[in-house]
Chain A
Amino acid sequence: MRRTRAMLTVAAVMAAAALLLAACSSSPSTPSASGTAKGTTVPTGGTPQTGGTATWAELPGTAPNFIFPFDPPGLFSVSNISQFQYLMYRPLYWFGQGTTPDLNLSLSVGKNPVYSSDSKTITIDLNNYVWSNGETVTAQDVVFWMNMMHAEKNSFGAYVPGINAIPDDVTNVVATSPTEVTFTLSGAVNTNWYTYNNLSQVTPMPKAWDITAKGAAAGSGGCFSGAYGTAATDAACTKVFDFLATSAGYDPSNPKAANNSFSTYATNPIWQVVDGPWHLTSFDATGNITMAPNPTYTGPVKPKLTKFIEAPFTDEPTEYNALLGGKLQVGYLPLANVTKATPNPNVVAAQDPRLSGFYLNEYYGWEFAYFPVNLNSAGNGGAAGKIISQLYFRQAMQTLVDQPAIISKVFKGYGAPEYGPVPVLPVTNFLSSGEKTNPYPYSLSNAEKLLSSHGWKINAGGTDTCTDPGTGANQCGAGIPKGTPLTFNLQFATGITTQTEAVNDEISSWEAAGIHINETTSTFDTVIGNATACTPGPSCTWEFEDWAGSWVYSPDIYPTGEELFATGAVANYGSYSNPQADNFIKQTDFTNASLANYENLMAKDVPVIYLPDQVQSLTETQNNLRGVVPQNPLSTITPENWYFVK
């Protein structure tokens, strides 16, 4: 009786709330009855103004938490690097040209790297940048970073062992003049790969940071001017790294040590030596960040704003409320609040009528969505990995991912299909012909044909079974006994509604063809934690792990596969191994071969299941703020380009 009454009360409250919501949404600020089109085009014109404050919304759960631009694993993140450190400490090379991830020399500290004919020597001249303490950014500052990288490569989040990349392939780095640094490599490299994936990681560091104690003399640490690769320099650099990392809150030797370094980020003289357009004026642990222009900045675009603020949010609705409430100048429209689907992912269809003071801009990151499948899995009585290892099966799985339907229904049109490891959006020259069209367009009948022609009895809506075991071309495949059911465990991460809807759509398609899925849900961390490469054995049981995320090409911007699909690669969680792929990957890293062969093979060989990529952000910008678009596809923000107009 009580329960019924309580439920009725809730129902009454919900009804009242719905009425109130309706009343609220028809506020006087509604600009037009149709509520479409307004605010969807990028405004131009106006008289530029100097000054003003722009507040930018951080994505939920991504508050920056590390200031030292030598980020350890776990702290190596877009929010730390591209949206925080780069504003103060400029990388040697800047990537992002319009909406492409291309090298942007006009914003780089280094001039175009010059490779010797055998590509074993790289000469880099520097543009004129100065540190805020008055010193010039010199070639030795680059050597300083390289010395630290040599000593502390395992403490750097982007270091990948075993692929003969920076610093393993660097035999020497010397400052041949104050403005010229020369790298000597142990072997030939693909120059694009090296610039985009190796030199991209370098951030010159000031001599003032070469210390091992507070107040010590600049350069006293011995890492700045030490000879590259020597034991003495490595030992000195380790001490300097320990000091700097600890000053930034991370104690590498004692992670349990107490620290409250966040409170000193804006006041510690170390972090106030900057060569970027901004310096930090306040920082707190929850992600409230304020920056002011660096008056000594010598880069091409000087800040016009007086203050730049980054504001944290607990979730998307909170950010949306802040946007509606006028707290933000640059924020984002949650996909759930999109009022009208778009027929073209590159054109926004409509603006929320209550946001008439903002314009909307779609933003696609340099990433592709996928989930790994475990080719070594001992699940399904030991047959799971054997089935997944069969190309026809992976083709069938991929054929059943209805990417256009997911994009239009779930992502409201704001998404791009993915046919291989190179993103379709943003549009770049990296995309090969083999990835421009879908090699496995959605087709239930084609998928069923692939399975039935390889010895499986189709039981649509139920579970297919292997009726013709064996290794012949028309049989199930090695290690798959007769009667094996086509059933798999899929664990996926919840938390993003659209991604959950997309997974449900995929599961329904697979089950329609008789591929039975036992779905379980967990957190992002648990799912990604489970997706670990394992050798065949009783403990290697995971089959499909979908963490609802993407592979982001940053700081390895050149979309090669040495980290993803090469045999034994660090992120080759499913243990995919194909000698031809290994060969193509090597060619893209160490010869000047194009990416096309690798890309085309990866599209056809389906080492993972490719998923449609949803728009990374629908950015809302106040109508009188210019310079926010085009947006950098590597999520780098450049508020020095922003200015208000009258």
Chain B
Amino acid sequence: MIAFLIRRIIQAVIVVLLVLLGLFLLTHVIPGGAARAALGPRATKAQIRQFNVTNNYYKGIFVQFYLYLKTLVWHHNLGYSYKMNQDVTTVIAQRLPKTLVLVGISTVLALIIAVPLGILQVVRRNKPIDHILTGLTFVGYGMPSFLLGTLLILYFAIDIHIFSVEAPQGQTVGAILGDPRGLVLPEFTLAAITIASFSRYMRSSMMEAMTEDYVRTARAKGASPRRVLFRHALRNAIIPIVTLLGLSIPAIVSGAVITETVFNFPGMGLLTYEAATNTDVPLLLGTALVATLATVIGSLLADILYAIVDPRIRYAK
């Protein structure tokens, strides 16, 4: 297991470096250059020159990349966003917890609802409730989040004033959690789509498990239907969901651009979008680094959890 972990961590570091290098190269071939984008239309040639010197833009691309990595590793500094007048580390430190709360809660919510829903569908397979839930999950699956979010706002916030038109605007996790009226609609919007996806996985996984030999054996040995379902089938059927959860971590960390936009919630998703559209190179690299780290950590976690929940897997070998 330890050898496996070491191997995976080395792989992860290489992946992160390659992604960063790729992105670094891409952002540096953007036409127009970062100076004009940062300094505005009245920027003089002298100011542009000064900007490029200060930010090492006159140096070779690989020298710039080396300097970027050096600052990152030794000073834990991701650079400065001219657009936001903030250093990138600070901006991400402000946005990341907010997104973790928003998307994290919705993922947990989705899991709590989707797993029983999937099981229920298998238990009531081909019965009306299964068909209804299948239909509903297809609707949820096909529903664009901007549409669902807008409809929810129009009805619940604007027409009947039960919930807030926007997500909590507080800057701290406490402030966000302290505004449940603001949290309901964005959480529901995010969760609805995830529930649809998770419950479909759960249903098909359970269906498959129920046809396995060990389930038939358990039944033949006189195990109760409840025991067969929860002790034998569920433990195996949950494995793909564990993988799915691990792979959801990048989304939890990177944020949900559309939902964040609809609910006026400046989280990581919106930050990445703004960085890309504003040609804010340091910010773009910073958000990409966070997303890449989340992806490699997520897939690593998925593998580890997989090994834990499935005793057949022995990575140590």
Contacts and interface: CB of A to CB of B under 8 A. Distances in A.
Interface of A: 6, 9-10, 12-14, 17, 20-21, 24-25, 27, 29, 61, 65-66, 73-77, 154, 157-158, 160-161, 248-251, 255-260, 262, 284-286, 288, 311-315, 317-318, 321-322, 324-327, 354, 495, 522-530, 532, 549, 563, 570-571
B279 A525 contact: yes
B261 A315 contact: yes
11 contacts: A17-B151, A74-B38, A154-B50, A257-B80, A259-B87, A314-B260, A314-B270, A327-B165, A525-B37, A563-B42, A570-B42
A6 B138 CA distance: 8
B138 A9 contact: yes
> Which 8 pairs from chain A and chain B are nearest by CB?
A529-B32, A325-B165, A525-B37, A529-B36, A9-B142, A65-B85, A525-B279, A73-B39
A13 B143 contact: yes
A324 B91 contact: no
Contact of A318 (B43, B91, B264): B264
A74 B32 CA distance: 15
A256 B142 contact: no
Nearest to B276: A523
B169 A20 contact: no
A516 B157 CA distance: 49
A324 B165 contact: yes
B11 interface: no
A526 B32 contact: yes
A524 B151 CA distance: 31
Given A257-B80, A314-B261, A526-B279, A24 B41 contact: no
Given A154-B50, A258-B87, A314-B270, A160 B42 contact: yes
Interface string B13-55: 0000000000000000011111111111111101100100011
Interface string B67-81: 000010000010110
Given A325-B157, A530-B31, A571-B42, A288 B151 contact: no
A259 B89 CA distance: 9
Contacts of B39: 73-74
Nearest to B90: A260
A334 B40 CA distance: 25
B187 interface: no
B139 to A, nearest CB: 6
Contacts of A65: 84-86
B30 A526 contact: yes
B91 A255 contact: no
A324 B85 contact: no
Interface of B: 30-44, 46-47, 50, 54-55, 71, 77, 79-80, 82-87, 89-91, 94, 138-139, 141-144, 147, 150-151, 153-155, 157-159, 161, 164-166, 169, 171, 260-266, 270, 274, 277-279
B40 A258 contact: no
B80 A161 contact: no
A404 to B, nearest CB: 28
B42 A284 contact: no
A327 B171 contact: no
A161 B46 contact: yes
Contacts of B260: 314
A576 B231 CA distance: 80
Contact of B166 (A248, A318, A529): A318
B14 to A, nearest CB: 26
Contacts of B33: 529
B36 A249 contact: no
B53 to A, nearest CB: 11
B41 A528 contact: yes
Contacts of A325: 153, 157-158, 161, 164-166
A321 B157 contact: yes
A24 B151 contact: yes
Contacts of A527: 32
A73 B47 contact: yes
A495 B276 CA distance: 13
Nearest to B78: A256
Given A13-B139, A325-B157, A526-B31, A258 B37 contact: no
A117 B34 CA distance: 46
Residue of B32, B46, B263 contacting most chain A CB atoms (<10 Å): B32
A6 B80 contact: no
A74 B54 CA distance: 15
A539 B45 CA distance: 17
A25 to B, nearest CB: 8
Given A286-B171, A315-B261, A256 B166 contact: no
Given A314-B266, A322-B264, A529-B33, A256 B77 contact: yes
